[in-house]
Amino acid sequence: MRLNPRTPNIAVLEVNLGRLLLDVGRDNDAISWLEQSLQTDTQLLPETPGLDLPLVDPHGTARFLLASAYALSNRLDDAHRLLSEAMKSKQGMDTTVRSWMRGIPHYADPAHIRQEQRIAEGLRRAGLRDHLDEEADSGVPSTAELRESTRADEPTPMSVPGAKTIRTEEMQRLLAESKPLVLTTVEPRFNPTIPGAVHIDMPGGGTMDDEIQAKLRRTMHELLGDDREHPIVVFSYNINRWYARNAALRLVALGYRNVYWYRGGWEAWDAHDLPKAPLILEAR
């Protein structure tokens, strides 16, 4: 049978409609549309760079929303089953209650924020984890390789050659005692952040003699002059992001001798309900 090329777009519409119904508390109607979306063929939907994941993977998004809708309707067995299916996808690898809440635009009106909080509460009831464990060891070997962008959103190793991996308690002590330069690779649109953080753009891949390295050298000279001893902390969003680890490797190659990688990143900091503040600078 020949597939209808419009079918994937129908799936997206069904998922969006299901979400709107969930937003307004019509959980049973939302369940009907979301269940229907899972029956719609999506194999022709293109993988389009730059689009939000709900458009790229409507089935993955539908499973998360449906798990929430089931939980809010007290169908907990169904909620647990759908969440288990959702967590098998690449999208599921990163999804936590906090990441879901993090996706709410800071400029959203209070009513929309309450609606998104309700979906997040449904996901929590369905069994979704609050955050990723910064101590989780994925078994990935630690090398001095710069991870390319196409594979930068994957589980990270536990360490980084030439730098020290720190956890949240160590991060707190370092901030209090050593006043390090704090660098974040988390997109500026995700604000606030860890107090004192400076945003740096850190694409994946490359080599230690490319333009990215030259740009980082210039940025660091502007921030620290010729001081190679000043402590520097780099962090990304969570343990499944390689960008800060890439930055740590590049800083070590530039001769900085006190480089720290805060592996748990923003999500671990947020999970401990620690102080937050706007970015103080976006380095260009």
Domain ranges of the chain: 7-126, 149-282
DSSP letter string over 109-137? Answer: -HHHHHHHHHHHHHHHHHT--SS--TT--
Q: Are 14 and 37 in contact (CB under 8 A)?
A: yes
In the chain, the amino acid numbered 51 is L
pTM of the model: 0.83
Which stretches of the chain score pLDDT less than 70?
A: 1-8, 42-56
> pLDDT value at position 179?
95
User: 149-282: what fold?
Assistant: Oxidized Rhodanese; domain 1 (3.40.250)
* Chain segment 113-157, per-residue pLDDT in tens: 999 999 999 999 999 999 999 999 999 999 999 999 999 999 999
The span from the CA of 59 to the CA of 67, in Å, is 12
The span from the CA of 83 to the CA of 67, in Å, is 5
> pLDDT value at position 1?
34
The b/e string for 7-42 (b: 16+ C-beta within 10 A; e otherwise) is ebbbbbebbbbbbebbbeeebebbbbbbbbbbebeb
> pLDDT value at position 137?
96
Compute CA distances 115 → 19, 26, 48, 119, 220, whole Å: 10, 12, 28, 7, 42
> pLDDT value at position 245?
98
207, 282, 240, 60: CA torsion to nearest 10: -120
**Count of Cβ atoms closer than 10 Å to residue 142 Cβ:** 13
